[in-house]
């Protein structure tokens, strides 16, 4: 039987697919595009939209394990898009898993499901979902996570969720390129005092955690099933020092200009209001309230549960990951 990876053509999804192939598994990918390079590796690719039940059922049918990685990510957009893809799409995945007797479902969630805009210092999975949300992405990811965890049934579908934070590494087409582009255009500013600590995770470690979670669901379902787990490098970094290290890999000078956290938050609120008023919901503002808080606050997490229950540890150190990222960026010049 096949293993399905939704979003298997994306950044994290490809690393999960590659690790599964290295283990000799039969892999199927579900995504909105075709992926000839994956097909050349023997991966079965099914094209479709998470919001289309028939496409989802076609992808899930005949699989014993599903990694649900696909999502609409971002800090801006419409509620309809975020809810449709992240919530309704996840419900379609769960329904299809139940209909076609899939035994295990591992969901890729996000630590932002617990973020209310304030500092998070060493919080664990007991942190509640917030009462207010600064963006549709974390809100819909939280709703989707709850759907997956509530679907856990020991005698049928085993489920769990992972919350990898700030996934980075070679082949990233979002975080790293955006930082570099903003730095080159002179639009990057340190938000706040520049001393905030954040957790992040190298992409191969995040992928390995998903495979370990699937194994734990099989071997210790009573311990892991129905739970969420933070996944990081296990050692927070100063966000702006780390960003400057990334820029240095590209031969760019460090960020020096600053803006206060309150000014950035206020500016983000104004930009959101203006963009909504003029109907620019598919053009991202330079700043939003969510982004301002993410860039200025502490957010690092206790991963002892993932270490204990999943056997997770970051196999690739941050230092080695930065070296690999540097080599990749150099190869792209």
| 127: phi then psi, degrees, rounded to nearest 5 | -60, 130
CB atoms closer than 10 angstroms to residue 48: 17
What b/e readout covers 82-115, taking b as 16+ CB neighbours within 10 angstroms?
bbbbbbbbbbbbbbbbeeeebbbbbbbbbbbbbb
Closest to 60 in 3D by CA, of 111, 97, 15: 97
Instruction: Report which of 113, 125, 32, 109 is spatially closest to residue 68, judged by C-alpha positions.
Output: 109
Task: Write the DSSP assignment of 94-154 as a string of letters.
Answer: HHHHHHTT--EEEEE--GGGG--SS-EEEE-TTPPPPSS-SSHHHHHHHHHHHHHHHT--T
**Among residues 252, 285, 238, which one has the least CA distance to residue 185?**
252
Q: Report whether 199 contacts 276 (CB < 8 A).
A: no
15, 83, 137, 265: which is the annotated catalytic residue? Answer: 137
Q: Is 137 assigned a catalytic role?
A: yes
Backbone angles phi, psi at 187, to 5 degrees: -100, 5
CA separation for the pair 100, 156 (Å, rounded): 11
Sign of the C-alpha dihedral computed for residues 86, 56, 125 and 312 taken in this order = negative
Query: Alpha helix (H) ranges present in 47-88?
Result: 53-60, 79-82
Residue numbers annotated as active site: 137
């Amino acid at each position: 039987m096949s293993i399905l990876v939704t979003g298997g053509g994306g950044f994290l999804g490809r690393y999960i697919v590659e690790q599964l192939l290295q283990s000799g598994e039969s892999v199927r990918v579900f995504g909105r595009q075709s992926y000839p390079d994956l097909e050349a590796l023997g991966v079965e690719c099914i094209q479709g939209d998470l919001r289309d039940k028939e496409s989802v059922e076609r992808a899930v049918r005949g699989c014993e394990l599903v990694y649900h990685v696909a999502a609409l990510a971002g800090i801006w957009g419409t509620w309809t898009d975020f809810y449709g893809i992240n919530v309704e799409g996840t419900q379609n995945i769960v329904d299809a898993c139940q209909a076609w007797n899939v035994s295990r479902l591992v969901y890729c969630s996000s630590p932002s499901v617990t973020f209310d805009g304030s500092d998070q210092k060493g919080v664990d999975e007991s942190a509640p979902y917030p009462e207010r949300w600064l963006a549709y992405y974390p809100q819909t990811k939280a709703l989707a996570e709850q759907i997956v965890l509530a679907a856990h049934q020991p005698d049928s579908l085993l489920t769990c969720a992972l919350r990898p934070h700030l996934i980075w590494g070679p082949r990233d087409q979002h975080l790293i390129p955006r930082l570099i582009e903003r730095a080159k255009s002179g639009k990057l500013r340190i938000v706040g005092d520049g001393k905030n600590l954040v957790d992040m995770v190298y992409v191969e470690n995040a992928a390995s955690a998903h495979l370990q979670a699937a194994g734990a669901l099989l071997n210790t379902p009573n311990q892991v099933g129905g739970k969420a787990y933070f996944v990081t490098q296990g050692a927070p970094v100063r966000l702006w020092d780390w960003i400057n290290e990334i820029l240095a890999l590209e031969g760019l000078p460090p960020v020096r200009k600053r803006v206060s956290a309150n000014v950035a938050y206020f500016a983000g609120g104004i930009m959101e209001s203006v963009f909504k008023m003029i109907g620019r919901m598919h053009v991202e503002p330079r700043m939003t309230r969510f982004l301002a808080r993410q860039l200025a606050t502490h957010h690092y997490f206790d991963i002892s549960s993932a270490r204990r229950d999943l056997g997770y540890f970051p196999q690739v150190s941050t230092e080695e990951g930065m070296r690999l990222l540097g080599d990749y960026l150099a190869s792209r010049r």
